[in-house]
Amino acid sequence: MAEHVLLVDDEKDFLDIMKERLSARGIAVSTETSPEKALKRIESELFDALILDLQMPGIDGLEALKRAKKLRPELQVILLTGHATVEKGVEAIKLGAMDFIEKPADLEALSEKIKRARQNKMLIVEKMNQEKIVEMLRRFGL
Amino acid sequence: MDEDIEHTGLVFFGKVTASISHEIKNRMAIINEQAGLLEDLLLMAERGGEVDLARLKRVSGAVKVQVAMGDRILRNMNRFAHSIDNPVVSVDIRSLLELTAKLAARLASLKGVNLEIYPGPENVEVTTSPFLLMNLLWLCLETALSVSDSGSELVLTCQKQEDGAAIGIGSEPEGKEHHFPEASRELKSLASALGIELVANEQRGGWTIRMSNA
């Protein structure tokens, strides 16, 4: 099954071409032009990774990252930015981002990160399921 | 020049160039992906795939669009950079207002605010410092944007006066209750240095900037 990512950027031209190129690499890509719309989508759909532009109208990328992780703790978030600073990068990682990439991004590297994001997510989901089973067994005194 | 005004000017210059560099970086990111798509298509062709000429034309057209957008950004940057060449000159106020609005467009877009310009029918020339006047307009816009809601509109107007011009910066719709903060110290200092009267517009929640050639 293909990796499924949600790509969020207010530049529609950027979204269109990234979708075309990532799709050609076997990655299923959904796009949104605002973080608000993306967060609504995360509530109802499952994605392996969320790729977020850091600066967008409305809520910024870091705030969107916080809200996305609250909704889906297992979701892997990669931040894309025009100008990466160490401070922003550290802040993003502290908030649970998987990676922080400066534009223009190397598409092969980004594709690899998306594949790794899916593996990370699966490990987290597996761990969460194990914890649920242990908790259930504990409740029943087993 | 007063040290405070010099510092305010440097901060303004820094903010504008940072904003422009973001815009250029965005264009470059798209052009980079378009070049990457051409590489993907070439690779497919090398492996015996059919060359989709319509697709190639589409990519070429899209690159041209991005280059034209980048060119517009750089032209604005160039005009902005040259605004410091002459301390005091005869300034086309409508043109300066339009340039400042273009430079502030990204700031407004990040706030989800639409900037609407009504430059007025008449050409208005005032002898002043173009850089300091742009700095003053920028500070007004920055203050107005800081209290504007996403989805709202800021209206910029320019009118010829008996011996000068009046620029209006206010919110839409008129008459709605607005809470614009008082003009900052930097804004007042700039207005004073330029001999400009900065009048708060209670009804519209903005300012009227009156300047004269006197």
Determine whether the interchain pair A14/B29 forms a contact, defined as Cβ–Cβ distance below 8 Å: yes
Averaged pLDDT for residues A88-95: 88
Distance from CA of B171 to the nearest CA of A (A): 18
Q: Give me the amino acid identity at A121.
A: K
In this structure, are B55 and B120 located in the same domain? no
Residue B202 has pLDDT above 80, yes or no: no
Q: Coil, strand, or helix at residue A96?
A: coil
Residues B102 and B76: their CA atoms lie apart, in Å, by 8
Determine whether the interchain pair A104/B32 forms a contact, defined as Cβ–Cβ distance below 8 Å: yes
In this structure, are B113 and B167 located in the same domain? yes
The whole-number pLDDT of residue B178 equals 57
In this structure, are B119 and B72 located in the same domain? no
Where does residue B6 rank: exposed (0-12), middle (13-18), buried (19+ CB within 10 A)? exposed
CA closest to A84 among chain B residues:
B22
Residue with tokens 């409508």: B94
Residues A104 and B57: their CA atoms lie apart, in Å, by 23
Which residues of B, range 149-178, sit inside 8 Å of A by Cβ? 150
In chain B, residues with a C-beta closer than 8 Å to the C-beta of A17 are 30, 33-34, 37, 62
CA distance from start to end of chain B: 21
Residues B181 and A121: their CA atoms lie apart, in Å, by 47
In this structure, are B96 and B19 located in the same domain? no
Averaged pLDDT for residues B19-43: 93
Q: Which residues contact B185 (CB under 8 A, 6 or more apart)?
A: none
Per-residue pLDDT reduced to its tens digit, B71-80: 999 999 999 9
Averaged pLDDT for residues B200-211: 81
CA closest to A108 among chain B residues:
B36
| Architecture, CATH, for domain A4-139 | 3-Layer(aba) Sandwich (3.40)
Mutation to test the A interface, candidates B20, B21, B23, B33, most A Cβ within 10 Å: B33
Residues B70 and B34: their CA atoms lie apart, in Å, by 15
In chain B, residues with a C-beta closer than 8 Å to the C-beta of A58 are 112, 150
Of A27-31, B3-7, B25-29, B96-100, the least confident? B3-7
In this structure, are B93 and B77 located in the same domain? no
Q: Which two tokens stand for residue B178?
A: 């607005």
Sheet strands (E) in A1-142: 4-8, 28-32, 49-53, 76-81, 99-102
Per-residue pLDDT reduced to its tens digit, B128-154: 999 999 999 999 999 989 888 888 899
Q: Which residues contact B166 (CB under 8 A, 6 or more apart)?
A: B158, B159, B208, B209, B210, B211
Averaged pLDDT for residues A71-84: 89
Domain end (from B30, B52, B82): B82
Distance from CA of A90 to the nearest CA of B (A): 20
Q: How many pairs of residues across A and B have Cβ atoms under 8 Å apart?
A: 55
Per-residue pLDDT reduced to its tens digit, B33-51: 999 999 999 999 999 988 8
Residue A4 has pLDDT above 80, yes or no: yes
- Whether chain A has a CB inside 8 Å of the CB on B40: the answer is yes
Number of independent structural domains in chain B? 2
**Domain of B129?**
89-212
Domain end (from B26, B60, B82): B82
Distance from CA of B37 to the nearest CA of A (A): 6
In this structure, are B112 and B66 located in the same domain? no
Domain end (from B52, B82, B112): B82
- When the pLDDT of each residue in chain B is averaged and rounded to a whole number, the result is 89
The whole-number pLDDT of residue B213 equals 82
Sort strands B153-161 and A28-32 into parallel, antiparallel or unpaired: unpaired
**Domain of residue B174, CATH code:** 3.30.565.10
Residue A125 has pLDDT above 80, yes or no: yes
In this structure, are B105 and B189 located in the same domain? yes
CA closest to B28 among chain A residues:
A104
The whole-number pLDDT of residue A73 equals 92
In chain A, residues with a C-beta closer than 8 Å to the C-beta of B26 are 11, 14, 82, 103
Which phi and psi angles does B173 have, rounded to 5°? Answer: -80, 150
Residue B180 has pLDDT above 80, yes or no: no
Comparing CB atoms, the residue among B22, B34, B62 nearest residue A83 is B22
Neighbours of B199 (CB within 10 A): 15
Which residues of B, range 42-101, sit inside 8 Å of A by Cβ? 62, 65-66
Residue A142 has pLDDT above 90, yes or no: no
Q: ipTM strictly over 0.85?
A: no
In this structure, are B38 and B140 located in the same domain? no
Nearest to B29 by CA among A23, A89, A98, A55: A55
- When the pLDDT of each residue in chain A is averaged and rounded to a whole number, the result is 90
Sort strands B164-172 and B197-201 into parallel, antiparallel or unpaired: unpaired
Distance from CA of B181 to the nearest CA of A (A): 21
In this structure, are B136 and B166 located in the same domain? yes
Sheet strands (E) in A1-133: 4-8, 28-32, 49-53, 76-81, 99-102
The whole-number pLDDT of residue A50 equals 96
